[in-house]
């Protein structure tokens, strides 16, 4: 084609806005309630209800993580890791992360958190400190093949390698 000339092709522009992949909670506002705190912080260690919408159509499974970016470890702290949630499921109900009873869907795997246990470990920031906790739901291109005792960091690496979209919710906690 000669310089300065254009082809007759015209790019189609969609007038429909793409729906945003979104994570929400009926149990959480901007801060955790005491029932969500870890038992060693005088809480009940009850994981919050979480639900998501508008995931990509090609999603094969979901994963959910809860990360304390302000933990005084130098690398943060993983409080909850769940992966291989069926693509047909768009929520985790209140207390689904219980350490005492398995409330996860059959196919979902509760991975190890940084406390070394499988399940939800609620917030427990040091007295006087305000911490930010990030819940992230990952839409995955395939299910994750992690060993039963894989660390949260290794599972996070596998999640990030297979994430096609993600949505996050930031919640604060202070004692």
- 74-106 residue pLDDT tens: 889 999 999 999 999 999 999 999 877 778 888
CA atoms within 13 A of residue 84's CA, in its CB half-sphere: 14
pLDDT of residue 17: 57
Reported as a pLDDT band with limits 50, 70 and 90, residue 2 is very low
pTM of model > 0.85: yes
Tell me which H or E stretch contains 80: strand 77-86
Alpha-carbon span 140 to 109, nearest angstrom: 14
Question: What is the domain class of 34-174 according to CATH?
Answer: alpha beta
pLDDT of residue 16: 53
Mean pLDDT, range 151-170, rounded to an integer: 95
Give me the residue spans of the domains in the chain: 34-174
Of 83, 81, 119, 85, nearest in space to 105 by CA: 85
Reported as a pLDDT band with limits 50, 70 and 90, residue 1 is very low
Query: Which has the minimum average pLDDT: 45-49, 96-100, 158-162?
Result: 96-100
The larger pLDDT score, comparing residue 46 to residue 13, is at 46
Gyration radius of the chain's alpha carbons: 19
Whether the CA torsion 63, 28, 56, 12 is positive or negative: it is: negative
**Locate tokens 């969500």: which residue?**
36
In this structure, the number of other CB atoms found within 10 A of the CB of residue 126 comes to 12
Residue 53: left if φ>0, alpha if ψ -120 to 50, beta else—which one? beta
Strands 61-68, 109-110: pairing is unpaired
Strands 109-110, 50-53: pairing is unpaired
Angle at 70 between CA 68 and CA 168, to 5 degrees: 45
Reduced to 3 states (helix: H, G, I; strand: E, B; else coil), residue 160 is: helix
Reported as a pLDDT band with limits 50, 70 and 90, residue 6 is very low
Q: What is the DSSP letter of 100?
A: S
Report pLDDT digits (tens) over 117-153: 999 999 999 999 999 999 999 999 999 999 888 999 9
Of 136, 124, 138, nearest in space to 73 by CA: 124
């Amino acid at each position: 084609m000669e310089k300065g000339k254009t082809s007759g092709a015209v790019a189609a522009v969609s007038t429909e806005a793409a729906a945003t992949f979104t994570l929400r909670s009926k149990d959480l506002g901007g801060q955790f309630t005491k029932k969500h705190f870890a038992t060693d912080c005088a809480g009940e260690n009850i994981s919050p209800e979480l639900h998501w919408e508008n995931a990509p159509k090609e999603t094969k499974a979901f994963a959910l993580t809860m990360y304390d970016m302000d933990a005084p470890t130098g690398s943060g702290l993983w409080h909850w890791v769940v992966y291989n949630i069926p693509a047909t499921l768009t929520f985790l109900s209140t207390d689904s992360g219980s350490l005492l009873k398995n409330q996860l869907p059959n196919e979902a795997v509760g991975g190890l958190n940084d406390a070394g246990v499988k399940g939800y470990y609620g917030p427990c920031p040091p007295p006087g400190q305000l911490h930010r906790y990030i819940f992230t739901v990952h839409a995955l291109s395939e299910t994750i093949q992690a060993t039963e005792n894989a660390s949260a960091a290794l599972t996070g690496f596998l999640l990030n390698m297979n994430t096609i979209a993600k949505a996050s919710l930031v919640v604060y906690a202070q004692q």
